[in-house]
């Protein structure tokens, strides 16, 4: 098969989760519902934190940024998928595919970084409670957020620049519902050694290292909780990080499933389902996990709705 240079590439074909025409209306309704729930749920979290002075703490500062990122994260994939189903077209332009891949990697990496920073925040709060306000000061919180954005933008820009030098074969079908880097590179006909090396390095940087940091933080947190004598004290300490631990398990569990199946020559349905879990389901469930398990958040949401009702 003759390779075709990327300058001649005009479009890719996103095959989606299923090519069965009878399933398309069901998929459209399902993903539209999750998209709306994600945007509204995370927007409510942001508004509640913004208008409640009691939630102006490092923990909720990072939570509001996570909610904003989740809105952006789901918006990079689902709207395009819905448009393709509605128009019965699988095509996405070469430039549009690269742009989607770029923003997907930014917000996906930022999710991982923010979850890591939030784990560190819980570690300081539980293991060093007397020094919490001194350590987690506004300046450090701002620097941590800046670091998260810098890593996300840097690695995404690097990988897209490397993808620009790739030549593609005539086969342009992507067996996915969005432009994922691993699936795009499988269509390449040029040498991918540099891309592969960089991809493994970045996987360690934004995947293994943050997950190791989270696991280390929680090992210290669990050790500190077990040293508490009263059962009520243990429950209170664990309740402050239970929601975060649930979100981390969902995000990294699905991400690990995608990573384990990405090396297959023929992508499996398992990989696609795992992708849906961390790109769509996780951002949609996050506001419910944080609001239903958190008394302060439920109180802030009630105050926000009361304020809206009184203003009408």
pLDDT digits (tens, 9 = 90+) for 64-93: 999 999 999 999 999 999 998 888 888 888
Residue 270 pLDDT: 60
Distance between CA atoms of 45 and 290, rounded to whole angstroms? 9
Residue 4 pLDDT: 44
Distance between CA atoms of 224 and 246, rounded to whole angstroms? 19
Residue for token pair 């969902």: 250
Lowest-confidence segment of 83-87, 115-119, 171-175, 207-211 by average pLDDT: 171-175
CATH topology for the 11-311 domain: Rhopdopsin 7-helix transmembrane proteins (1.20.1070)
Q: Which residue has the higher pLDDT, 141 or 53?
A: 141
Residue 8 pLDDT: 55
Give 1's pLDDT tier (boundaries 50, 70, 90).
very low
Residue 269 pLDDT: 57
Distance between CA atoms of 243 and 241, rounded to whole angstroms? 6
Residue 299 pLDDT: 80
Question: Which SS3 state, helix, strand or coil, does residue 93 take?
Answer: strand
Give 265's pLDDT tier (boundaries 50, 70, 90).
very low
pLDDT digits (tens, 9 = 90+) for 212-233: 999 999 999 988 888 877 777 7
Give 312's pLDDT tier (boundaries 50, 70, 90).
low
Give 257's pLDDT tier (boundaries 50, 70, 90).
low
Residue 150 pLDDT: 96
pLDDT digits (tens, 9 = 90+) for 12-30: 888 888 778 888 899 999 9
Q: Provide the 8-state DSSP code for 190.
A: S
Distance between CA atoms of 81 and 198, rounded to whole angstroms? 28
Q: Which residues pair with 188 in a beta bridge?
A: 168
Q: Average pLDDT, stretch 249-254?
A: 83
Cα-based distances in Å from 253 to 39, 247, 258: 23, 10, 9
In percent, the amount of the chain with pLDDT more than 70 equals 91
- What residue segments make up the domains of the chain, in order of their start? 11-311
Taking each helix axis from N to C end, the angle separating 138-164 and 94-127, rounded to the nearest 10 degrees, works out to 150
pLDDT digits (tens, 9 = 90+) for 280-306: 988 998 888 887 767 778 787 888 777
Distance between CA atoms of 81 and 243, rounded to whole angstroms? 30
Lowest-confidence segment of 105-119, 195-209, 238-252, 262-276 by average pLDDT: 262-276
Cα-based distances in Å from 208 to 14, 126, 178, 198: 29, 24, 24, 14
């Amino acid at each position: 098969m003759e390779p075709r240079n990327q300058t001649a590439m005009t479009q890719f074909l996103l095959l989606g989760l299923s090519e069965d025409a009878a399933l398309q209306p069901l998929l459209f309704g399902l993903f539209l519902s999750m998209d709306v729930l994600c945007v509204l749920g995370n927007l409510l979290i942001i508004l509640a934190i913004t208008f409640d002075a009691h939630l102006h703490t490092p923990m909720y500062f990072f939570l509001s940024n996570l909610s904003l990122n989740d809105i952006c994260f789901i918006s990079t994939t689902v709207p395009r998928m819905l448009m393709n189903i509605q128009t019965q077209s699988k095509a996405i332009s070469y430039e549009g595919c690269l742009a989607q891949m770029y923003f997907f990697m930014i917000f996906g990496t930022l999710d991982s970084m923010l979850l890591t920073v939030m784990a560190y925040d819980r570690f300081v709060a539980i293991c060093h409670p007397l020094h919490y306000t001194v350590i987690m000061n506004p300046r450090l919180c701002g620097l941590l957020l800046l670091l998260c954005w810098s890593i996300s933008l840097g690695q995404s820009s690097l990988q897209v620049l490397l993808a620009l030098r790739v030549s593609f074969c005539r086969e342009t079908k992507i067996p996915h519902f969005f432009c994922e880097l691993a699936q795009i590179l499988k269509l390449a006909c040029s040498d991918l050694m540099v891309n592969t090396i960089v991809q493994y390095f970045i996987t360690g940087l934004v995947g293994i290292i943050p997950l190791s940091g989270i696991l280390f933080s929680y090992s210290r947190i669990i050790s500190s909780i077990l040293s508490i004598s009263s059962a009520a004290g243990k429950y209170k300490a664990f309740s402050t990080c239970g929601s975060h631990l649930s979100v981390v398990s969902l995000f990294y569990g699905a991400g690990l499933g995608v990573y384990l199946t990405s090396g297959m020559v023929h992508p499996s349905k398992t990989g696609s389902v795992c992708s849906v879990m961390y790109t769509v389901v996780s951002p949609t469930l996050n506001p419910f996990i944080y609001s239903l398990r958190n008394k302060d958040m439920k109180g802030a949401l009630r105050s926000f709705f009361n304020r809206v009702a009184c203003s009408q």
